[in-house]
Amino acid sequence: MAFDPIRALRTLQHHHVAFVIIGGLAARLWGSPTMTNDLDICCGRDRINLERLSIALIELRARLRGVDDDVTFRLDAITLANGQNFTFMTEAGPLDIVGLPAGIKDFHELEVNAASFDLGEGVVVPVCDLDDLIRMKRAAGRPKDRIELEILGAVREERSLKKPSGKKGARQPAPGPSPGPGA
């Protein structure tokens, strides 16, 4: 499947799912040159939001990634509530749902700190705060996260040197290559 994060994000928004983009795509949007081929999100864990999420995932024809096709998996709000993290393959490419990212207290913390990014074509999405992203990468501690920490630190330093515009509203993605294939 081709990676098309815009399609996945539109579907989530169409179903009014409360989510925040985290991970590699968030890093790309903040200005990291590191490529990513999946969409990582953290979602609100209340029953209504999980119902909305399950409907969006069904529309995207989500199936568990990395398991045999004959493994039974019921995609509904109850199943999502009983798990924390899910990796799916969808018609829009890989989509990872992270219930509680490392280094973060809860979804509300991410949601409150998130910045809105205008991806064009009417798609404005919440992206985790750069400092929250750095905290998540540091807490995860994987080799690829430690490498990305160096890049994100440089991105933060470069952004702090720029004079703030004072404008409110959705941010534009950082200049440079697109967030990923299909975006």
| pLDDT at residue 98 in the model | 96
Is the residue at 10 inside a domain?
yes
What pLDDT is stored for residue 66 in this prediction? 87
Query: Please, is 37 exposed, middle or buried when counting C-beta atoms within 10 Å of its C-beta (0-12, 13-18, 19+)?
Result: middle
Residues in the chain with pLDDT < 50? 166-168, 176-177, 181-183
pLDDT at res. 71: 79
Domain holding 92, by residue range, is 5-161
pLDDT at 68 (0 to 100): 77
User: What is the pLDDT at residue 164?
Assistant: 61
Instruction: Specify the CATH number for the domain of residue 136.
Output: 3.30.460.40
Classify residue 121: in a domain, yes or no: yes
Which pairing describes strands 63-64 and 39-43: parallel, antiparallel, or unpaired?
unpaired
Q: Has residue 172 been placed in a domain?
A: no
> What does the pLDDT read at residue 146?
92
Distances, alpha carbon 99 to alpha carbons 65, 127, 157, 166, 174, in Å: 17, 16, 29, 33, 27
Number of domains in the chain: 1
Output the pLDDT for position 128. 98
Residue 166 lies in a domain: no
| Beta partners for residue 2, in sequence order | none
Residue at 105 is within a domain: yes
Residue 6's pLDDT is 96
Would you list the DSSP string of the chain? ----HHHHHHHHHHTT--EEEEHHHHHHHHT-----SSEEEEE--SHHHHHHHHHHHHHTT-EETTS-TTS----SHHHHHH-SEEEEEETTEEEEEESS-TT-S-HHHHHHH-EEEE-STT-EEEE--HHHHHHHHHHH--HHHHHHHHHHHHHHHHHHHSPP----SPBPPPSSS-SSTT-
Judge whether 182 lies within some domain: no
Residue 177 maps to a domain: no
Distance CA 176, CA 29 (A): 9
85 in a domain, yes or no? yes
What is the model's pLDDT at position 143? 93
Q: What is the pTM of this model?
A: 0.87
